[in-house]
Amino acid sequence: MPRSSLTLALVQQSDQGSTAANLEDCEAAIRAASIRGCDLVLLQELHNGPYFCQTENPDLFDLAESIPGPTTERLSALARELELVIVGSLFEQRAPGLYHSTAVVLDTDGALAGIYRKMHVPDVPGGYEKFYFTPGDLGFNPIDTAVGRLGVLMGWDQWFPEAARAMALGGAQILLAPSTIGSNPNDTPEEQQRQIQSWITVQRGQAIANGLSLAACNRVGYEPDPSGAMPGTRFWGSSFVCGPQGEILAQADDQAPKLLVAEVDLARTEPVRRLWPFLRDRRIEAYGDLARRFRD
């Protein structure tokens, strides 16, 4: 019997200076979420350290690890002990010279329920992810857990309506969006707010278009560019949870770490989709051009 509700926690963090310190911070937050009765904990994208993609440095490939590996083992032990689902994120070394940005889903018994490899990999000033990450090859497949079927979309994935729709068509009961996104600190406050609101709005739109609740967990705080070529990044936090009509259920601010807890009514998907039948009215026979790069 599918569950009708879910209590989840989003762990909005700033970098603590080392992998060990970041994982300690994650564990403390997960334990706090358990005390508050959470069924699922969502960690931010690449939570083990700073956002290293601000520069291209071959030495930073040493940060990667295998799956299973140290991070999954630690999160697995926590999931099993606390009997909750944990969605983490790491720099995966799949094989020599082959790396991904990967989400890992640990089930309530500690088992690795599944992984999601980031499909859309950006390459922009201050975000040179294509240098490090091979685009994912597992597709948009939700992951079954004891608390429901989870549709995970990471970072740049969150901006693409095709990605959220594919997860919805795969039967996802909720969309989860681990993030690492921020602004150039030299941008005006007005421009930074436009960017934050764009990020929130596009994801609320994905929730509405698919009749699904969505949780987006982002890092927060300023991180300098180690190369000095750029002014660094001010990560804007603003982690949030919204319902299937885009309504904000809980939201963190853009300044500080936060353990954000929300109750999500998964059963609302059915009545919302009955009233707003986007899936019924899709003209799938007319969408062939969506598989083309552009219509010249």
Q: Which of 264, 261, 218, 220 is nearest to 32 (CA)?
A: 261
pTM confidence score: 0.97
Report whether 117 contacts 136 (CB < 8 A). yes
User: How many angstroms separate the CA atoms of 147 and 279, rounded?
Assistant: 24
| pLDDT given at position 3 | 80
Q: Which of 111, 118, 128 is nearest to 51 (CA)?
A: 128
| pLDDT given at position 182 | 97
| pLDDT given at position 1 | 53
| pLDDT given at position 200 | 98
The string of pLDDT tens digits covering residues 147-163 is: 999 999 999 999 999 99
Q: Which of 156, 13, 160, 163 is nearest to 88 (CA)?
A: 13
The string of pLDDT tens digits covering residues 157-187 is: 999 999 999 999 999 999 999 999 999 999 9
**Cis status of the peptide bond prior to 231, with omega within 30 of 0:** no
Q: Which of 39, 14, 7, 10 is nearest to 221 (CA)?
A: 14
Going by C-beta distance under 8 Å and a sequence separation of 6 or more, which residues neighbour residue 186?
231
Structural domains of the chain, ranges and CATH numbers in brackets: 5-291 (3.60.110.10)
Helix axes 161-169, 189-210, angle to 10 degrees: 30
Q: Which of 55, 26, 36, 31 is nearest to 233 (CA)?
A: 55
Q: Which of 124, 62, 68, 71 is nearest to 99 (CA)?
A: 62
The yes-or-no verdict on residue 2 having pLDDT over 80 is: no
- Cα distances from 44 to residues 12, 22, 65, 177, 216, in angstroms, run 7, 11, 17, 8, 8
What single-letter DSSP state applies at residue 21?
H
Report whether 195 contacts 59 (CB < 8 A). no
The string of pLDDT tens digits covering residues 92-145 is: 999 999 999 999 999 999 999 999 999 999 999 999 999 999 999 999 999 999
Question: In b/e form, how buried is each residue of 159-188, taking b as 16+ CB within 10 angstroms?
Answer: bbeebbbbbbeeebbbbbbbbbbbbeeeee
Segment holding 221, helix H or strand E? strand 220-223
Q: Which of 104, 116, 115, 45 is nearest to 79 (CA)?
A: 104
